[in-house]
Amino acid sequence: MSDSQHTGTSRRTALRNGLLLIGGAIGLGGGAVEARALTREGAAAARPEKLELNGRGWVLSTPDRAAGELLQPGDRSTVSGTVLDAKSKRVLGQFYGVRTAYSSGKLPFDVADASTELHTFTFEDGSILGMGSVIGGASMFSIVGGTGRYAGKRGTYSAEQRVRELGGDGTASFVINLEA
């Protein structure tokens, strides 16, 4: 009696099973190579992008308040200006924001020294929407949405706005960190 008769497996079945096993291993190996390639592409697409921007012509408009007049808690304002690439100084787009002033408690409560803000950066290839709070000087904001090239992006950015109406020189600085 042959070995195949003892185990109940014919030589043909054993060869077929062996070929299936080899084919499966090759398929898995090829899939692993493709998975590694996709992972590299995904990593490249997910690589953080840093935008360094400046602003000029930064204007704060607060109804019922004169330029330089202290803001009161609850005052609502708009902010706007032109956005430029920090290195090339090339104009990239516009900035629009709305803000509500409040007291941080560091000064008398009838003086607004902080604000909650919603920002829109508009560029030729899309827009970025961010929000956060300002409590003096530079502040951190969260990216909450975008359109065009920025759709689906997330991240954070630092912002320092120096509006003339509050004693600044009408400029701004932003460092935006985008992730996929």
| Pair 30, 17 in one domain | yes
- Secondary element (H or E) of residue 121: strand 114-123
- 8 in the same domain as 94: no
* Cα angle, residue 33 at apex, residues 30 and 36 outer, rounded to 5°: 150
pLDDT band at 147 (very low <50, low <70, confident <90, very high): very high
3-class state of residue 63 by DSSP: coil
Q: What's the pLDDT band for 124 if we cut at 50, 70, 90?
A: very high
Secondary structure element (H or E) that encloses residue 24, with its range? helix 11-46
Whether 54 and 142 share a structural domain? yes
Both 119 and 167 in one domain: the answer is: yes
Query: What is the Cα–Cα distance from 118 to 74, expressed in whole angstroms?
Result: 15
The answer to whether residues 15 and 86 belong to one domain is: no
Do residues 155 and 138 share a domain? yes
Could you list the beta-strand ranges (E) of 11-112.
49-61, 76-85, 91-102
Shared-domain flag, residues 131 and 73? yes
Q: What is the pLDDT of residue 136?
A: 72
- 140 pLDDT band, cuts 50/70/90, is very high
Q: Do residues 35 and 94 share a domain? A: no
Q: What pLDDT does residue 98 have?
A: 97
Q: Indicate whether 75 and 25 sit together in one domain.
A: no
CA distances from 151 to 31, 79, 125, 127, 180 (A): 30, 23, 10, 8, 9
Q: Which three-class secondary structure state does DSSP give residue 168?
A: coil
Could you tell me the residue range of the domain that residue 33 belongs to?
3-46
164 and 135 in a common domain: yes
Separation between Cα atoms, residue 36 and residue 5, nearest integer Å? 44
Residues 74 and 125 in one domain: yes
Same-domain pairing of 64 and 131 = yes
CATH number at residue 144: 2.40.480.10
Rg (CA), the chain: 29
Is a pLDDT exceeding 60 seen at residue 68? yes
Q: Provide the pLDDT for residue 47.
A: 77
pTM greater than 0.85 (yes/no): no
Return the percent helix, strand and coil in the chain, to nearest 5.
Answer: 25, 45, 30
Percent of all residues in the chain with a pLDDT value above 70, rounded to a whole number: 71
d(CA 80, CA 103) in angstroms, rounded, equals 23
Q: Structural domain tally of the chain?
A: 2
Closest CA to 171 of 162, 180, 159: 162
pLDDT band at 16 (very low <50, low <70, confident <90, very high): low
**Is the pLDDT confidence value at 71 over 90?**
no
